[in-house]
Amino acid sequence: MEQVIVGKIVNTHGIKGELKVKSSTDFVEERFAKGAKLLIAYQGQEIEVTVATHRFHKGHVLVTFEGYHDINLVEKYKGCLLYGYKDESLLDEDEYYISDIIGCEVYNDGKLIGRVQDVQLYDHHDILVVQGSQKIMIPYVDAFVKEEDIENKRIDVHLIEGFYDED
């Protein structure tokens, strides 16, 4: 089953196995609900865990996993990514996962300029990282992104002068 990143474990919180997670999902309540299955990417392995509790604290999600109620059991996971299973039922019509954007060809006014290598998530707007003959950072906003056909892996943009060297 396909997976998507739902957050990154940034620290522990207290001594009872609670982990501080920087969430990268729009579906926090669903992804961190009691009983939800997540995967911790740890030293090349995927460790499946079940959410026991979650709460919010200073912009982060504090989560505990069943069977991991001691700081000594979870401290090693600091810095690890958390994955969830891809669930299309969470999406509204015309919505898609960020992982679906990776690999899309990007065309500026009909000319191929590269492929989406990454999407950087920020509070105000996201940034498409496009790799072609050069790396281009494109704000993922309507002013630049004119059309998206994610099913066919194509994004059309209109960039203003100075965004990239056309040579």
Residues 99-119: pLDDT tens digits?
Answer: 788 899 999 999 999 999 988
Q: Which amino acid makes up residue 91?
A: L
Residues 27 and 82 in one domain: yes
Name the phi and psi angles at 67, rounded to 5: 80, 0
pTM of the model as a whole: 0.69
Segment 66-70 mean pLDDT: 97
Task: Please check whether residue 99 is in contact with residue 118, taking contact to mean a CB–CB distance below 8 angstroms.
Answer: no
All residues at 6 or more sequence positions from 77 whose CB lies less than 8 Å from its CB, including other chains? 9, 19, 40, 42
- Total count of domains within the chain: 2
Range of the domain at 45: 3-89
Neighbours of 133 (CB within 10 A): 11
Structure-block tokens of residue 106: 């990007």
* Torsion, Cα of 140, 144, 149, 150 (10° steps): -20
Residues 109 and 140 in one domain: yes
Residues 105 and 55 in one domain: no
Q: What is the overall mean pLDDT for the chain?
A: 91
Residues 105 and 124 in one domain: yes
Asked whether residue 81 is domain-assigned, the answer is yes
